Amino acid sequence: MTMSARDRVAAFWDDHIEAWFEGEDRLAPLLERWFDSYEGVESGKPTRDGFPEPYHGDLRGVEHTPRMVVLGLNPGQYRKEFQSRDGIFAREIKEEYGSYSRWQTTCPYNRGPWTDVMGRNRYYRARLEFTRNWLQDPGADHRDLLIFESYPWHSTRFRGRFSPPPDVIDQFIWQPIAELPVRDVFAFGRSWHTIAESLPLDDAGGFDAGSSMYRSTAAGRKVRVHTLPSGQRLIVVWQPGYAGPPSAKETALLRDALIGAGSGSQRETPPRARAEAPGERLLTQVQAAP
């Protein structure tokens, strides 16, 4: 039986992170290209002192198939006490959950011990609230939300030139997304507008706040739509000085503009799911590499 893209990517990262815990820090050529694609400067300089975190959520759909996909930039600041080889999260993964993919189903950055030390996770909570608003389901929880990082290694800030390899993004992000029952994928912040333009995606247009089809009053807010290889839509939303999701009221206006007034949940079968994507052979080669 052919392994799904979601299972294939999850298995790849489970093996890679397990090897990293055992002291292996070499990167296969495909990952080297990904790591080198970001030229972080000053506080944006990336580190491999912590384990990579390519996604957050139940990628395999072990407990629940995600209904919302959001794209992030990278996992953020490296915290030695949590993300080093002998850190708290490393021990959780190795001793309690057995794999990165299983550990990620527990929403580790929105529970203790992370919140006991770091406080409320505003980044995650804002995206979870957006999930509830977009799906029009107040009961949606962490199992419904899947976040992919465009760059899986840590840095204090995401600051510097980033030229993601299209084939890498395709097989590690676009291919798994193609298997999920979502119509729209969301990314917030101007940085994602730049990233989307650098990738070979079809530009489906967009609109600005205050336009005839988008009655938002958020000054300077822009919405751009790109078509993913699967036929799903990538919706990039940003405005000056803010890189987060819109409020409940603004989300309703965005839904009306993108889907139509009175529309229901976005959950549906993707327009075109790919049984075997072009990058599948490359990922197999990486898994076989020393």
39-71 pLDDT, tens digit each: 999 999 999 999 999 999 999 999 999 999 999
* Cα 148 from Cα 237, distance rounded (Å): 16
pLDDT at 166 over 70: yes
Average predicted confidence (pLDDT) for the chain: 91
* Cα 133 from Cα 144, distance rounded (Å): 12
Confidence of residue 236 (pLDDT cuts 50, 70, 90): very high
Give the percent of the chain with pLDDT over 90.
88
> How confident is the model at residue 99, as a pLDDT?
98
> How confident is the model at residue 163, as a pLDDT?
96
pLDDT at 268 over 80: no
pLDDT at 284 over 50: no
* Cα 186 from Cα 99, distance rounded (Å): 27
> How confident is the model at residue 269, as a pLDDT?
42
pLDDT at 289 over 50: no
Q: Which of 14-28, 58-72, 126-140, 256-270 has the lowest mean pLDDT?
A: 256-270
Express each pLDDT in 89-130 by its tens digit.
999 999 999 999 999 999 999 999 999 999 999 999 999 999
Give the percent of the chain with pLDDT over 70.
90
For 25-78+122-269+277-288, give the CATH class. alpha beta
pLDDT at 263 over 80: no
Q: Strand pairing partners for 239? A: 242
> How confident is the model at residue 261, as a pLDDT?
54
> How confident is the model at residue 276, as a pLDDT?
42
> How confident is the model at residue 77, as a pLDDT?
97
Within a 13 Å sphere around the CA of 190, how many CA atoms are in the beta-carbon half? 7
pLDDT at 264 over 80: no
pTM above 0.75, yes or no: yes
Cβ atoms 92, 103 nearer than 8 A = yes
* Cα 126 from Cα 115, distance rounded (Å): 15
pLDDT at 142 over 80: yes
Q: Please report, for the chain, the start and end positions of each structural domain, with discontinuous segments joined by +.
A: 25-78+122-269+277-288
Burial class (CB in 10 A: 0-12, 13-18, 19+), 81: exposed
pLDDT at 277 over 70: no
> How confident is the model at residue 4, as a pLDDT?
97
Confidence of residue 2 (pLDDT cuts 50, 70, 90): confident
Express each pLDDT in 205-226 by its tens digit.
999 999 999 999 999 999 999 9
